[in-house]
Amino acid sequence: MTELAAREPFLGVLRELAEAYHAFSNYSAAHVRELGLTPAQFDVIATLGRTEGLPLSEVARKTLITKGTLTGIIDRLEAKGLVFRKVPSGDRRSFHAVLTSA
pLDDT in tens, 40-78: 999 999 999 999 999 999 999 999 999 999 999 999 999
What are residue 84's DSSP bridge partners?
98
Is 83 in contact with 97 (CB distance < 8 Å)?
yes
Instruction: Report CA-CA distances (Å) from 38 to 28, 42, 73, 77.
Output: 11, 6, 9, 10
pLDDT value, residue 92: 74
| Residue 33 CB-half CA count within 13 A | 6
Phi, psi of 65 (to 5 degrees): -100, 135
Query: Which phi-psi region, left, alpha or beta, contains residue 36 (left: φ > 0; alpha: ψ -120 to 50)?
Result: left
E strands along 1-102, which residues?
54-55, 83-86, 96-99
- What's the pTM value of the predicted model, to 2 decimals? 0.78
Instruction: Band the pLDDT of 18: cuts 50, 70, 90.
Output: very high
Specify the higher pLDDT residue, 3 or 46.
46
